A = this chain, B = another copy of it.
Amino acid sequence: MSTVRTPTRLRILAAATDLFGLRGVDAVSLDVIANEVGVAKQTLLYWFASKDELLAAVLLEAANELTVVIEAAVRASTDDPLDRIDAVVRAVFRPAVRRPALLGLVREVSRVPEEVGARLTGQLQLLASRAADYLGQEMDAGRLRRADPGLIAALSYATVTGIATEPAVLRVNGWEPTPAGLRHLRDELRGFLRAALAP
């Protein structure tokens, strides 16, 4: 109950992102979103002309959030190879940890106009390829045991996507989709990368 309230439009966007990403667009009605935000359904339709337009806005916003993550990863670079690996791993996992629904939105890309969907998939691609590039550099420098960096990144990416999209997937593997659980997974992957370091 702060005096300065987040603008309605942003609150709608945030709630829709989480609900769409976690449950899927078809499973979430405008009423549910409005209820979550604490406004009437018509307030939603004032800010976004239709459900489709709301989804498009959500995907664009997600793409923007990912841009921020990627740019932060670009800036993060130290001389310690382990730290640098950690930075990349963090860059790949952070969206899943901070906003599990973000990557789950990939599921809905086909519903929006192509240029909108391309923004999101483009950012995800960038995230994956940046990780691949970095791992490739480490290998070239002899600090990482050589393997297919694209595959490693793809596996990481698929893991992240799988986690973000399907909490059930996580449970199948015996993990709980909590921040702590995701941290544990990140540590495991980090250990995997550390083990891959050239002896």
Contact = CB atoms under 8 A, between A and B. Distances in A.
Contacts of A173: 125, 128, 154, 157-158
Interface stretch (A9-17, A49-57, A74-82, A187-195): A187-195
Given A121-B172, A128-B173, A189 B109 contact: no
Nearest to A170: B158
A118 to B, nearest CB: 11
Contact of A159 (B125, B154, B168): B154
Contact of A192 (B106, B107, B147): B147
Contact of A125 (B27, B125, B155, B172): B172
Interface of A: 24-27, 106-107, 109-110, 121, 124-125, 128, 146-148, 151, 154-159, 161-163, 165-166, 168-169, 171-174, 188-189, 191-192, 195-196
Contacts of A154: 159, 173
B168 A163 contact: no
A169 B159 contact: no
A24 B165 CA distance: 12
Contact of A24 (B26, B168, B174): B26
A151 B152 CA distance: 12
22 contacts: A24-B24, A24-B26, A26-B26, A106-B172, A107-B166, A107-B168, A121-B171, A125-B173, A125-B174, A147-B192, A147-B195, A147-B196, A148-B188, A148-B192, A154-B159, A157-B172, A158-B159, A158-B173, A161-B162, A161-B166, A162-B162, A165-B166
Centre residue among A128, A163, A166, A196 by max chain B CB count within 10 A: A166
A161 B162 CA distance: 7
Nearest to A109: B168
A173 B125 CA distance: 7
A122 to B, nearest CB: 9
